């Protein structure tokens, strides 16, 4: 009864959906699951990271429009629907000390108010499963951390008709599971790194692994491993569609596809909330839901 299953992926910027859980989404779309990406900001302050496009005056002057068109292309490739929350990119502050965030940006919004906009999307789409980032944002970008905050509030708030009245936000809905994207994890990175070296190939992960040694943060718990290797090409195609953000000759694509599929054929998640019984580890984001759909 997969036509009744709905997955919502909440992301900070256009391109995040294609680098975090994209193969999983494409897999579920192929099974008839209704998948929606919610993008919190327009990515207006994102730098042009593709060296082939740096210095392009049109792109720099129209970055908001360009990134929307890239998102449209990636959405079509993945087969998902997509909605914007309409907040303004906060940018990634750099320097010591860090400069203040720009006024009016997403990260400075009131959390409960911003979460209300996501509540509208949840109540309208009615997903059983939601994915987003952990409390560190996956990495400490202020928009990623804010995305985590509003998703946590909206997961509970979607049923709270006093805080978010039905007359304004739509009929209440209870999502059943909430996951954190954990695709960038140390076990996966180490496995691919060692596989490349064993084959006499260069690994792009050496510096990553060195930095991990000094990382004092929480070791994440991987609870859910979704087999989706047949959709890795779709993932990469969607990611390349975000051409201002992705160098097609860069590190994202230096691991041969056959090695990726052989060594690590899954995408990983951390189960944060579950209102249905499930047994860990899982292979399905809808475990505990599918039989009762």
Annotated binding site for Zn(2+): 13, 16, 144
Q: Which residues are annotated as a binding site?
A: 13, 16, 144
Q: Are the C-beta atoms of residues 49 and 280 closer than 8 Å to each other? A: no
Sheet holding 266-274, edge to edge: 81-87, 34-41, 6-11, 129-132, 177-181, 266-274, 224-227
What 3-state DSSP class applies to 212?
A: helix
C-alpha separations of 16 from 1, 54, 111, 230, 283 in Å: 29, 20, 21, 20, 22
User: What is the C-alpha to C-alpha distance for residues 162 and 2, in angstroms, rounded to an integer?
Assistant: 32
What 3-state DSSP class applies to 192?
A: helix
Question: Please, what is the angle between helix 22-30 and helix 232-241, to 10°?
Answer: 120
CA torsion sign for 135, 137, 142, 148 is: negative
User: What count of residues does the chain have?
Assistant: 293
């Amino acid at each position: 009864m997969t036509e009744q299953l709905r997955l919502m992926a909440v992301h900070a910027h256009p391109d995040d959906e294609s680098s975090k859980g994209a193969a999983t989404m494409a897999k579920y779309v192929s099974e008839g699951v209704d998948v929606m990406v919610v993008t919190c900001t327009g990515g207006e302050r994102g730098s042009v990271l593709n060296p082939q496009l740096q210095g392009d005056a049109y792109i720099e002057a129209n970055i908001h429009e360009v990134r929307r068109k890239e998102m449209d292309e990636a959405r079509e490739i993945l087969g998902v629907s997509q909605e914007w929350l309409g907040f303004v990119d906060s940018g990634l502050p750099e320097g010591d000390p860090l400069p203040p965030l720009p006024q009016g940006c997403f990260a400075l919004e009131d959390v409960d108010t911003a979460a209300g906009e996501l509540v509208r999307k949840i109540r309208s789409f009615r997903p059983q499963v939601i994915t987003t980032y952990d409390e560190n944002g996956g990495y400490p970008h202020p928009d990623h951390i804010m995305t985590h905050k509003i998703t946590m509030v909206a997961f509970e708030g979607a049923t709270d008709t006093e805080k978010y009245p039905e007359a304004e936000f739509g009929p209440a809905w209870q999502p059943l599971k909430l996951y954190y994207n954990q695709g960038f994890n140390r076990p996966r990175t180490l496995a691919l790194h060692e596989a490349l070296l064993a084959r006499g190939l260069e690994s792009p992960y050496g510096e990553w692994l060195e930095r991990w040694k000094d990382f004092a943060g929480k070791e994440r718990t991987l609870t859910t491993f979704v087999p989706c290797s047949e959709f890795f090409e779709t993932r990469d195609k969607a990611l390349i569609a975000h051409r201002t953000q992705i160098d097609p000759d860069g590190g994202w694509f230096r691991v041969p596809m056959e090695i990726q599929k052989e060594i690590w054929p899954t995408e990983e998640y951390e189960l944060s909330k579950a209102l249905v019984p499930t047994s860990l580890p899982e292979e399905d984001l809808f475990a505990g839901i599918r039989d009762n759909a």
